[in-house]
Amino acid sequence: MKNLNILVLVSGGGTNLQALIDAEKSGAQIAGVKIAAVVSDRPDVYALERAGAAGIPAFVETPNRSLPKPERRKELSDRILALCRQMQIGLIVYAGFLSILTDEIINEYCGRMINIHPALLPKFGGHGMYGINVHRAVLAAGEKESGCTVHIVDAGTDTGPILLQRKVPVLVADTPELLAGRVLEQEHFAIVEGVKIIAQRLSD
Ligand code: GRF
């Protein structure tokens, strides 16, 4: 696999980032892939600590809230796109990133931008479906199984082509928190597998 620089976008605890850091360190699963940078859209999140501990350049790029939403989204996307060009990023990984970016960056990284979602898309995706809300909705719907999805990011919300899914059972006594923890464990395998699939495609 030829060298591939990835940018990981985060907004929270960074356990999916940590799974990628550990996979890169192991040298086995994603050989040739380098986490070149981490960008968080908010300060003081543990994902930034994880990047620092791994010696990965980390940047806080907060949306400029003095701007109206469309301009705010474009201004943030332009900053991230400039960083990607400067660091020769080949793949962008959303790992819990909560800001929406513009079609411009999505088009420039068409097929080279992936997201991990904590449900079996296309169910339980879309606007407002993030974090614990997802698992609450899965339980409310009486689903017997759940899981996570790694997909290509397109202009929609959680609507791009699916790369892979990993499933977990929904148990009778499940709370949203218990289900979230079971799904998150599988996310850590899925995010690495998703990077591996794209890296393979790009090196073919
Ligand atoms: C994960 O549940 C992911 O599916 C969702 O945001 C969460 C990020 O968790 N998009 P972490 O910050 O990687 O621990």
pLDDT in tens, 100-150: 999 999 999 999 999 999 999 999 999 999 999 999 999 999 999 999 999
> Burial letters for 80-97: b for 16+ Cβ neighbours within 10 Å, e otherwise?
bbebbeeeebbbbbbbbb
What is the CA(103)–ligand 1 centre distance, in A? 22
Q: How far apart are CA 25 and CA 192, in angstroms?
A: 12
Average confidence (pLDDT) over 45-53: 98
- pLDDT at position 180 is 98
What phi and psi values does residue 10 have, to the nearest 5 degrees? -130, 165
Cβ of 21 closer than 6 Å to ligand 1, yes or no, is no
Asked if 48 contacts 58 with a C-beta cutoff of 8 angstroms, the reply is yes
Whether ligand 1 lies within 6 angstroms of the CB of 158 is answered as: no
What whole-number distance in Å separates Cα of residue 194 and Cα of residue 182?
Answer: 19
Predicted confidence band of residue 29 (pLDDT cuts 50, 70, 90): confident
CB count within 10 Å of CB 119 equals 23
Quote the CA–CA distance of 75 and 70 in Å, as a whole number: 9
- Which residue minimizes the CA distance to atom 10 of ligand 1? 96
C-alpha 187/C-alpha 146 separation (Å) is 12
Per-residue pLDDT at 1: 57
8-state DSSP, 3: -
Residue 35 has pLDDT above 80, yes or no: yes
C-alpha angle 70-6-41 in degrees, rounded to nearest 5: 35
Question: Which residues participate in catalysis according to the annotation?
Answer: 117
Q: Is the CB of 135 under 6 A from ligand 1?
A: no
Considering the chain, what is the average pLDDT of its residues? 96
Residue 184's pLDDT band, with cuts at 50, 70 and 90, is: very high
User: What's the CA-to-centroid distance between 80 and ligand 1, angstroms?
Assistant: 20
Which residue shows structure tokens 């989204």?
A: 73
| Residue 14 in contact with ligand 1 by CB distance below 6 A | yes
Q: Whose CA is nearest to atom 8 of ligand 1?
A: 96
Average pLDDT over residues 45-73: 97
Rounded to the nearest whole angstrom, what is the distance from the C-alpha of residue 118 to the centroid of ligand 1?
A: 7
Q: Identify how many contiguous H helices and E strands the chain contains and give both numbers.
A: 6, 7
pTM of the predicted model, to two decimals? 0.96
Structure token digits, residue 194: 């998703």
- R_g (Cα) of the chain, nearest Å: 16
Q: Is residue 40 within 6 Å of ligand 1 at its C-beta?
A: no
Provide, rounded to the nearest whole percent, the portion of the chain with pLDDT above 70: 100
